[in-house]
Structure 1
Amino acid sequence: MTVPQVVSRDEWLAARLDLLAQEKEATRMQDAVAARRRELPMVRIDKEYTFEGPAGRVRLVDLFEGRRQLIVYHFMFDPSWEDGCTSCSFAVDNVGRLGHLHASDTAFVLVSRAPLTKLEKFQARLGWTIPWYSSAGTDFNYDFHVTNDESVAPVEYNYKDKATLEREGIAFLGEGDAHGLSVFFREDDAVFHTYSTYGRGPEALLSTYHYLDLTPLGRQRYVNEFPHYDGYGEEAGHSHHDPECH
């Protein structure tokens, strides 16, 4: 891994101003993309999804907790696993205080296929308080393409069908559980799907990466190379096969 070249202050300033122009261009592009995202049409959810939570069975509309917007992080946790996905755990570790989202009429929850007992045990271990619901026994993960099983539904991940995934040499992304993020909007009891993103799309949650992007050494490791936070200093030999985010 290389380190920056040592130069004079004037040379550094010239390079910094050149980069600043590029940063401002990228910011304007991000603003334009965000505006297009807000303008996306939405689809009414007619299927009655239910989830298992601390208070028992709840509906999708209940996950809003009375708010108008809902962000769902599709957390990879296969029912046969004892631990949640390491890269999804890294993402959740980066989520800040939910009060700021709540003040903007937006709820944030995690949804996984594993049974609630496993979710609660893992949640307690890592000290999270974000609401977490089990979608076990429902079509939710399959309908939002974060679990693929050809016997249940056609394979699709990141808006690519099985043939496309195979052609691009990433067929493994269409096998089993994957990660993603979906956004919903509510009008009274009517729920609408407005947005879903996969692959590197949920990277917006990774504040650790955004901090590291400011430094000379950069990110240094891929998302799935971060262990569970209580695994630092140990041999990180246990890791589930995640869809690669790079």
Structure 2
Amino acid sequence: MTTHLIGSRDEWLAARIELLGKEKELTRLGDDLARQRQLLPWVRIDKEFHFDTEEGPAALADLFRGRSQLLVYHFMFGPDYKAGCPSCSAIADGLNGIAVHLANHDVTLMAVSRAPLAKLQAYKQRMGWTFPWASSTDGAFNFDFNVSFTEQQQRDGTVEYNFQREPVFEWRSGQEGDGTSARANFAAMTGTDVPTYSRERPGMSAFIIEDGVVYHTYSTYSRGVDGIWSMYPWLDRAPKGRNEPSGPWWRRHDEYGRG
């Protein structure tokens, strides 16, 4: 027997219309936030960044692929990972379908990770993805855009992520991917321990190129990427919502049903 509120069709309609007003308010707020993002000052990038791509070595300007706008998803796949982060993989499932539409709207969508290109390509083939993916293995790109950190930063407590200083990382037993926490589970799923897994972080950054000059326009991190995680808008409209009281439940799309 359900414990949820039960009502008539008329009662549902009245409540739904009231909710519609709040949804419209949220939509208008979202439109205003989008305009404010576009009004942020641009930061000229004079530093040279180097990437490995399927087409060969590339500079940041080359990642635009002839378009004027570039959206980078900072995919958690560190050099020591044996597989990509499960959460980033779930997000990337959505990126795969929209890249072609963005490309035809003067926007290149590109994933960037620190793992070597060969490792990224093998994982990309496994997942069946087609969006472009560049490796920034030996460069400063991930560090400069605050999605990769060193072990020394972890130990010193100097990690700056999501525009704020993080507490000193707790170096303790139980952080070897033994399944005692969601982070340990995800670390194990990438073939690493928790400290190694935690040195990579998710995020997205936006760039524009004008007259051959590249500018950084926007970045978001942590739950800021919820908006590009395509399963969440659907779950937020499902009867039970995200329904994850015990923590993350998702896996890579080829791992469901394995037990």
Q: Normalising to structure 1: TM-score of the pair?
A: 0.86
Residues 1:234 and 2:226 are matched in the alignment? no
Alignment of 1:1-246 (within 5 A): 4-95=4-95, 96-149=97-150, 151=152, 154-162=158-166, 175-221=198-244, 224-235=248-259
Contact in 2 for aligned 1:184/1:195 (Cα 8 Å): yes
1:226 alignment partner AA: W
Percent sequence identity over aligned pairs = 46
Contact in 2 for aligned 1:50/1:59 (Cα 8 Å): yes
Q: Which runs of 5 or more structure 1 residues have no equivalent in the other structure?
A: 167-171, 236-246
2:248, 2:148 → 1: CA distance?
A: 18
2:254, 2:73 → 1: CA distance?
A: 22
Closer/same/farther in 2, CA of residues 3 and 187 from structure 1, 3 Å limit: farther
1:233 alignment partner AA: G
Number of equivalences: 229
Secondary structure at the residue paired with 2:17?
helix
1:133, 1:207 → 2: CA distance?
A: 22
Contact in 1 for aligned 2:153/2:159 (Cα 8 Å): no
Closer/same/farther in 2, CA of residues 40 and 165 from structure 1, 3 Å limit: farther
Shift of 1:188: 2.9
2:8 alignment partner AA: S
Cα distance per residue 1:136-187 (max 9 Å; x no partner):
0101110000011264795210000245999xxxxx8x95110100000001
Secondary structure at the residue paired with 2:67?
coil
2:161, 2:169 → 1: CA distance?
A: 8
Contact in 2 for aligned 1:149/1:175 (Cα 8 Å): no
Cα distance per residue 1:61-90 (max 9 Å; x no partner):
000001010000000011111100000000
Moved over 3 A (4+): 150-154, 162-166, 221-224
2:74, 2:29 → 1: CA distance?
A: 27
Name whichever of 89-98 and 3-12 sits farther off. Answer: 3-12
1:188 alignment partner AA: D
Shift of 1:104: 1.4
Name whichever of 94-103 and 134-143 sits farther off. Answer: 94-103
2:238, 2:200 → 1: CA distance?
A: 33
Secondary structure at the residue paired with 2:222?
coil
